[in-house]
Structure 1
Amino acid sequence: MSRTISLAVAGFSVLLALGLIFGGQTAGPGAARVPFAIVVFGVQLLYVLAWTMAIRPPAMLVIGAIGLLAAAAADIGALLPTVASLAPVGYAAAGGFVVAILTQLVRPADRTRVTESLGATAQIVVGVVAFATLIVLSRLQLGGTQTIVVALAGTGSALMIARLTDAVLPWPRLAPQVPRGAAGVVLGAMGGTLTSAILGVYVVGFTPVTAAVVGLVAASAAVLTDLATSYAEASRQMAGDPPTMWVARYMQGPLGGFALAAPLSYALGVLLFN
């Protein structure tokens, strides 16, 4: 992986974090939450495009469309209820997964690949719906938007530091086929934790210790997910599959990292403030 690409991915990670953080700060009661939902849906759209093109499931266009419908349903379910709840988000994920599988069962060309498609479908549908948990988190009366700031700042910093480290020192290599180094993973998780801890001094409701815990969980999950996508791409190439479109390949990791950090941020926010 060239230094230019590593720098570009680092910048993309920062932009994702800033977009979601500032979007969360605009969230207010009632219709004032709609702008944040639009920001979240934009990220979900990027996720569906990148992951669908990267893993290429059977009936790729159909699965991508179902992923977007599940994302929209999850966002609406996160916005409309009078009391904020994850239940509609979970229903959207389950419904999207079931519809995706049934769609492939009725297509003769894809019926023989249903088993293969189960994992890919789950990654796309569940991953894209996970972003909607940020909308639910922003609706919590105590600590919701503050948790978004602390957790996603740590996530974005971790991914940025990991990629910048790979641009300068991709060592020690974790596998010959994967152009990533252990130093980036470790420094990324540490840097994300430190970023959150510093914010804990200034963000209401947090202390440096509680913010560091949130940052550690979110940052570690994000950098490991980012690394896992690099391994998955290397495995596909070793299996003889055609290479993924380069834009999707490099967007997949950061988007996957934020997709996992989102529900973890919700769980930590609930644990700390409710």
Structure 2
Amino acid sequence: MFPTTPRDSDAWDEDVSREIARSAPGRSAAGFPAGDRHEDELGDDEDFEEEVRFVPVRRQLSIAIAGFAGLLGTGLILGAQTSGPDARLPYAIVVLGVQALFVLAFTMAIRPPAAGVVAGVCVAAAVVADYLAVTTRPASMLPLVYVLAAAFVTALIGQAVRARDRLQLRDSLGGTFVIVFGVLCFSLLLVLTRRPIGAQAMLVCLSAVGVSLLLAHVIDAIFPKPRIAPQVPRGATGVIVGAMIGTLTSAALGSVLVLPFTPAKGAIIGFVIAGIAGLVDLAVNFSEAGRSMAGDAPTFWVARHMQGPLGAFALSLPATYLLTVFMLS
């Protein structure tokens, strides 16, 4: 019953030790704690490598985004320059089309609760805001603020109708506000066309945005280094050079336009506007990377790639309006 030889004694001790290790709660068969590095080291490394994966830059996609940004800026600039006191309706239709694209792209990306309600409220608010921007006398941003508040409250009420949507309401406040705010920012284009130097100010600011975004994505297609983050297919060189050339473009336009424009004022305006546009465009890429890492379903590819330029133009317009009012009036 008991071991009688040294060999039998060693084997018996080894069996007893193995049984104790197996029966001890929270310990592995080797005697280490269950979550110890000795047991899970390989699996942790594989999970970490899978989570922080390197996303390559797709050159053709970067060129396509650059082209979309250039076309969007060109369309908005030409529409503003051809808009007159008796010919604002065609430009208002162009702006409404851009607003519809913004609603489509950001609603599909952010996915707020009751997304259909939010999209419908935003489109209706865009129509009302565009009408007020064209007809209100004197031309002012204040009516758009009222529309923004009413649209945001209406969207929240629509999200609170169903119990399933109410559970997500608190977490979606920021995303819902971004959608409503961005849509109504485009209505500022119509307000600026009615100000004495608004068309020239839009030429300077929208040129800075369009040039900075176009060059940033073209450079990403050629030289996407140094990478800003492994998960974000953007390079710091493109962002910085794009903002610098956008500023230079504004300074050059400021030197050829009539007073109150000067090269210095053009450079200051371009620096602010191009910087905002570049940061918004980059923030969209980080948001998409965050959704991918969280395991969320990817946004529809067309909406995903329109987000950056649309968001950059939209969120640079409040600064454009304020700089026009306080620096150039």
Structure-2 residue corresponding to 1:120: 175
Q: Report if the CA contact (8 A) 1:134-1:263 is conserved.
A: no
Unaligned runs of 5+ in 1: none
Give the Cα–Cα distance (whole angstroms) in 1 for the partners of residues 217 and 97 of structure 2.
Answer: 23
For residues 202 and 107 of structure 1, what CA distance do their matches in structure 2 show? 57
In structure 2, give the amino acid aligned to 1:157.
Answer: V
Which residue in 2 is equivalent to 1:15? 71
Q: Alpha-carbon deviation of 1:108?
A: 2.0
CA RMSD of the aligned region, Å?
1.0
> In structure 1, what is the equivalent of residue 224 of structure 2?
170
Distance 1:116 1:69 in 2: 24
Shift of residue 28 of structure 1?
1.6
Hey, what does 1:214 align to over in structure 2?
A: 269
Paired residue type of 1:159 = L
Partner of 1:181: 235
Q: 1:230-254: CA deviations, max 9, x gaps?
A: 0000000111100111111110001
* Residue deviations 1:204-262 (CA, integer Å, cap 9, x gap): 22221111111111111001100000000000011110011111111000100001111
Distance 1:58 1:257 in 2: 24
Hey, which bits of structure 1, 4+ residues long, moved more than 4 A?
A: none
1:86 deviates by 0.8
Letter in 1 for 2:98: V
Q: Partner residue of 1:230? A: 285
1:83-103 alpha-carbon deviations (Å, 9 max, x no partner): 111111111111110000001
**Which residue among 146, 151, 157 is the counterpart of 2:205?**
151
Matched, 1:196 2:215: no
Q: Give, in whole Å, the separation in 2 of the partners of 1:144 and 1:112.
A: 44
Question: Take 1:99 and 1:234, find their aligned partners in 2: how far apart are those partners?
Answer: 30
Map residues 1-274 of structure 1 onto 2, 5 A cutoff. 1-29=57-85, 31-141=86-196, 143-205=197-259, 206-274=261-329
Unaligned residue ranges in structure 2 (runs of 5+): 1-56
Q: Which has the higher contact order (CA 8 A, sep 6+)?
A: 1
Letter in 1 for 2:76: L
The AA in structure 1 aligned to 2:245 is G
Equivalent-residue separation in structure 1 for 2:275 and 2:328 (angstroms)? 22
CA distance in 2, matches of 1:211, 1:39: 26
Aligned equivalents of 2:258 and 2:98: distance in 1?
27
Note the alpha carbon deviations across 1:107-151, whole angstroms, 9 max, x for none: 22201110122111101000110111111111112x110000000
1:272 CA drift (Å): 2.3
Rg comparison, structure with higher value: 2
In 2, Cα distance between the equivalents of 1:189 and 1:216? 7
Distance 1:140 1:184 in 2: 34
State the identity as a percent: 52
